[in-house]
Structure 1
Amino acid sequence: MTVTTSLVTVPTRDGDMPAHLWLPPSGTGPGILLLQEIFGVSDYIRSRGADLAELGYVVLAPEIYWRLDGSVDESRPDFMEQAMALLQQVDWELAVSDSVAALDTLRARPEVSGGAGVMGFCFGGGLAFNVAAVADVDVLVAYYGSALPRLLPLADRVDVPSLHHFGTADEYIPLETVEEIRSAVEGPEVEFYLHDGAGHAFDNPHPMFLHEPARLDAWRRTTEFLERRLPVE
């Protein structure tokens, strides 16, 4: 058997939100809510969804930008400007409520067993942290959560096993700020890793962002964390 993928919908108060679903080769497993970067549910995010499904997880990636006008074309030289323009349209509270609705939809799927976690990259890393503060999740994985500096008042409400990744050369989140985040979230259930020389979005394979040693090390640590904290039976 192989990973299967399909398009599904998530009921929200404003209608059905599109989402991408990956089922593992076994057909069942723990759930992971996968939250996008500022570029949307891109080819990169979809590849990570497939990677997680290969590990045995049922993965759901909602289209958080579904209410917005426009999209990001990463083949165009101005794709960063496109993404930033979309980001300016985001209503954060709606994004959180949509993500929680997606988590509820994921948990309710018959293929999900053994709990559900939330994982996000960049914009999605902060969103995942916020979801973990307000909803029932079993684990949190956040890659360079860009909204974390303003979400630290929620840190006391995130009491699940958590894994955070940051690069030491992140141009959007200075190392001083990263250390403030580390101090705010630290605890016996928290793992926090700094990746030397890596910039923001270092896991994204686009040449503008990729830091291959950090990408490999972070993914190894992520898979080990999930094996321990959200095991596939």
Structure 2
Amino acid sequence: MSGTKITIAGPDGPFSAYAAGSGPAIVVLQEIFGVNHVMREICDDLAGQGWLAVCPDLFWRIEPGIEITDKTEAEWKQAFDLFGKFDIGTGLKDIAATVDYARRAGTGKVGAVGYCLGGQLAYLTACRTDCDASVGYYGVNIQNRLDEADKIARPLMLHIAEQDEFVPPEAQAQIKAGLKDHPHVTLHSYAGRDHAFARVGGAHYHAEDADLANTRTRAFFQTHLK
């Protein structure tokens, strides 16, 4: 199932998003590569499962419509440059606007799922918005945002890659210690897995653990959004 480009009215101006499907909504939060083929395929897959999937262009203030891959050194350099210029606070305002749009366009309830940068944003979406349920895959820098954990009032699931090159063991230990007893948070760790183990076609893709994480995510959203 393929989707279409839409426009969302944000607090700082309109920005584009990719949308597919119908039903309860899931906001898909991008990696550092923009709303690229990988993100659109995730949306299309969710649409095929009976969801309205919406992936906002969170880099629109820096370079609207950017979409790159993880296949070349030049693209990695470009992606990290975008990541360095990205402002978390303004990005969360865009996510909140996307959640509001998705709540109106769907059937009422809204979830969020994010990867890499989007994994951190999924955590912060649980902290700062009224999103009904959030899931983060191998989120970066969450250990630096644990002071916001007391704001989490709705279900949050985090998938942690134990060999994540961008989230070292000490950071993972901080995340687990800070969140393991939180009543709204569920943590899953994947031994031997590196960053982006769920990205189909990526260097660290691991089909078995990607399927396990995605199965857990589907069940989580079925429980909390339907």
Q: Deviation above 6 Å: which 4+ runs of structure 1?
A: none
SS in 1 for 2:43: helix
Contact 1:72–1:79 (8 Å) recurs in 2:
no
SS at match of 2:92: helix
CA distance in structure 2 between the partners assigned to 1:69 and 1:161 by the alignment:
32
Question: 2:218 is matched with which residue?
Answer: 223
**1:188 matched to which residue of 2?**
183
1:72: how far off? 4.9
Equivalent runs, 1:6-155 vs 2, <5 Å: 6-23=4-21, 28-69=22-63, 71-74=66-69, 75-109=71-105, 112-155=106-149
Contact 2:141–2:167 (8 Å) recurs in 1: no
User: What is the CA distance between 1:14 and its match in structure 2?
Assistant: 2.9
1:166 alignment partner in structure 2: 160
Q: Distance in 1 between matches of 2:221 and 2:85?
A: 33
How high is the sequence identity, in percent, across the aligned residues? 30
Query: CA 1:207–1:124 in structure 2 vs 1: closer, same or farther (change >3 Å)?
Result: closer
* Partner-residue secondary structure (3-state), 1:206: coil
Where does the alignment leave 5 or more consecutive residues of structure 2 unmatched?
A: none
What amino acid does structure 2 have at the position aligned with 1:32?
A: I
Question: Does the Cα contact within 8 Å between 2:161 and 2:197 map onto a contact in 1?
Answer: yes
RMSD between aligned residues: 1.7
2:128 maps to a residue whose letter is: V
* Secondary structure, aligned partner of 1:224: helix
Paired residues of 2:36 and 2:68 also in contact (CA < 8 A): no
How big is the shift at 1:114?
Answer: 4.4
More deviation in 116-125 or 204-213?
204-213
Question: What letter matches 1:84 in structure 2?
Answer: F
* Contact 2:125 2:134 (8 Å CA) reproduced: no
Q: 1:73 and 1:138 mapped to 2: Cα distance?
A: 30
Shift of 1:201: 1.2
CA contact (8 A) 1:33 1:60 kept: yes
Distance in 2 (alpha carbons) for counterparts of 1:165 and 1:73:
24
Contact persistence 2:11–2:97 (CA under 8 A): no
Match of 1:10, as an amino acid? I
Q: Is the 8 A contact 2:33 2:67 kept in 1?
A: yes
Instruction: Give the TM-score normalised by the residue count of structure 2.
Output: 0.92
Sort the Cα spacing of 1:225 and 1:9 in 2 relative to 1 into closer, same or farther, 3 A: same
Please state how far the C-alpha of 1:170 moved relative to its aligned partner.
Answer: 0.6
Unaligned runs of 5+ in 1: none
Instruction: Identify the residue that residue 199 of structure 2 maps to in structure 1.
Output: 204
- Whole-angstrom distance in 1 between the partners of 2:50 and 2:172: 31
| TM-score, structure 1 as length reference | 0.89
Query: Which stretch of structure 1 is more off in the superposition, 71-80 or 197-206?
Result: 71-80
State how far apart, in whole Å, the 1-side matches of 2:151 and 2:183 are: 14
3-state SS of paired residue (1:41): coil
Provide the rounded CA distance (Å) in 2 between the counterparts of 1:114 and 1:64: 23
